[in-house]
Chains A and B, each alone.
Chain A
Amino acid sequence: MKKLLEVKDLHISFHTFAGEVQAIRGVDFDLYEGETLAIVGESGSGKSVTTKSIMRLLPQGNSEIKSGEILFNGENLATASEKKMQKIRGKDISMIFQDPMTSLNPTMTIGKQIMEPLIKHRDLSKSEASKRAVKLLDLVGISKPETRLKQYPHQFSGGMRQRVVIAIALACAPKVLIADEPTTALDVTIQGQILDLMKDLQKKIETSIIFITHDLGVVANVADRVAVMYGGKIVEVGTVDEIFYNPQHPYTWGLISSMPSLDSQDEELFVIPGTPPDLLHPPKGDAFAPRNPYAMKIDKEEEPPMFKVSDTHYAATWLLHPDAPKVEPPLAVQERQAKFRASIKGDK
């Protein structure tokens, strides 16, 4: 598969009164054509900052891309001019923000908001753009699109507004769609419709999607691959099956174990102890070490590199070092791994 986007050793800081917040501390990942990459991780781990930097939408003034590259079509977006970025945003790369209420302009009709990028990036005339807008609303499942175009956001329900936001993001058939918690505010039935819609549209216009969410059920539904972030870094990346059935990083173990399964009842839910790292003063060794029941001496001294688990699966934990002692992951994870081994045997 072809690489569409390459993020290499990205470092981003915020300059605040208290000092320099090192929010992103060396992030690497690739995005392939037509795939959905999910990014998961604790609140504050850097998911939004990473993706906003791809669009170069970080707050001006106190944010700084310190080093690293964001390669797209042979161009380094990390250093691209604002003029260049304006041509890319909404056309080649577009973004759906978390809150459907605030990402629409309440004073402008839905039609105008969909037509805007079409007129700007595709040089369509007003009547052409309007025809296309009708098609787009129809595509995202909104009935009577001609009438709907003339209405304002408050005349739409939450789920419908989110469909409109998706229609706008997809107006120019972007190569990359970044969706930051696009369904978190919605209830499960509408969430399901939106996920199906995104997958369906992805096939039709061959977009690659970066999908941020903390709902692991949603990840299992949409993702081809998953990147797990902790403390400003990606600590594990793999195919969706590798991450859910054969996770290697103790933080991923914690995440997976915290979810109740539909048949667990009385036992206490697993909780990751402690608090997230202070990114004003990032620790010397593995940032997860203080919360990691499996931490070894080396974790406190030296950051683990990415160890290879398979061609598609990497994790940054010293537990994967050949000299590390064998440890027992939490029970929930062991059960998943057993299933994984069985399925691999089955394949052969």
Chain B
Amino acid sequence: MAEKLLEVKNLKQYFNIGKPKEVRAVDDISFDIYKGETLGLVGESGCGKSTTGRTLIRLYNATGGEVLYNGVNVHGKKSGKELKEFNQKMQMIFQDPYASLNPRMKISDIIAEGIDIHGLAKSPKERLEKVHKLLETVGLNKEHANRYPHEFSGGQRQRIGIARALAVEPEFIIADEPISALDVSIQAQVVNLLKKLQKERGLTYLFIAHDLSMVKYISDRIGVMYFGKLVELASADDLYRNPVHPYTQSLLSAIPLPDPEYERTRKRQAYHPDVHQYEDGEDVRMREISPGHFVNCSEKEFEQYKANYNHNK
């Protein structure tokens, strides 16, 4: 899993630049995504998760920094052909299964849109066969091809979104809260499906969510964002077992678990950014606490965090 598929370097995405309402939605973040892995991205509402995903897939031009996909700059100048190739390799599944499907299009046409754009089917017959195959892959059936989105439940719609993303045979999928709107048993269906497809096709995922138990379950590594910054990045197990940044600790302390006994005695930990007491101009950046486990901190905090980390392990 050592091969990098995506390298994100000092990525910035600001909105309303220079105006009083300037928002630094993504503010200088760096991370890599390896081939075949699932990187989870968590953090509170508005911290910049969706903006990160949308910038990676070029829905926005980056304000600063760069994104390399297989070594090629995503936001660099490209010919029409290169752009098309690009759009085929990266796909996104959107947060809202209700809003992301055109209500006036038949399911078959929604799914085949990418097949048409990229000329992946040589004949109408091949196109239809592909659609049927995709429906089957996501656990729906042929008969569904001629229906419209309103005839489907939330979970079924989310699978149509997945079929649409898979139609162009991508390598990398950004899944933006693909399960938040669904009920528990349907969440499990969708997550199983994503995992199975990953195994069969070697897909790479960026999985954005706020349900931390599901993120833990599906991810190899997890990044935690707070106000546009990445504050911690580690393997899923290590992050849950040894969270280091006080925001990560606060986030994990708030996960509700289906265990009344545990809930009766739970203590939530609040996070106040002033605990850091950074001085002006202090060098705060991602530092490696242990191999593969990065925390955003000052030099002083780094020594302290490292001592605690080794002590707790």
Contact = CB atoms under 8 A, between A and B. Distances in A.
B268 A269 contact: no
A269 B188 contact: yes
Contacts of A189: 44, 250-251, 254, 268, 271
B185 A271 contact: yes
B240 A219 contact: no
B129 to A, nearest CB: 26
A191 B254 contact: yes
Interface string B208-226: 0010111011000000000
A255 B251 contact: no
Interface size bracket, A side: 35 or more
Contacts of A217: 213, 255-258, 263
A32 interface: no
B241 to A, nearest CB: 10
B45 A191 contact: no
Interchain residue pairs A-B with the least CB separation, the first 5: A217-B256, A260-B217, A269-B188, A216-B258, A258-B188
Contacts of B308: none
Nearest to A336: B259
B184 A221 contact: no
A261 interface: yes
Given A158-B45, A188-B212, A262 B185 contact: no
B214 to A, nearest CB: 6
A311 interface: no
Given A187-B44, A217-B256, A220-B256, 19 more contacts: A43-B154, A159-B45, A187-B43, A189-B250, A189-B268, A190-B44, A192-B254, A195-B256, A214-B184, A215-B256, A216-B258, A218-B256, A220-B262, A244-B260, A255-B184, A260-B188, A260-B213, A260-B214, A268-B195
Interface size bracket, B side: 35 or more
A192 B268 contact: yes
Nearest to A44: B153
A245 B259 CA distance: 8
B192 interface: yes
A150 to B, nearest CB: 21
Contacts of A187: 43-45, 210
A23 B44 CA distance: 36
B220 to A, nearest CB: 10
Given A188-B254, A217-B258, A220-B258, A262 B184 contact: no
Interface in A46-99: none
A108 interface: no
B8 interface: no
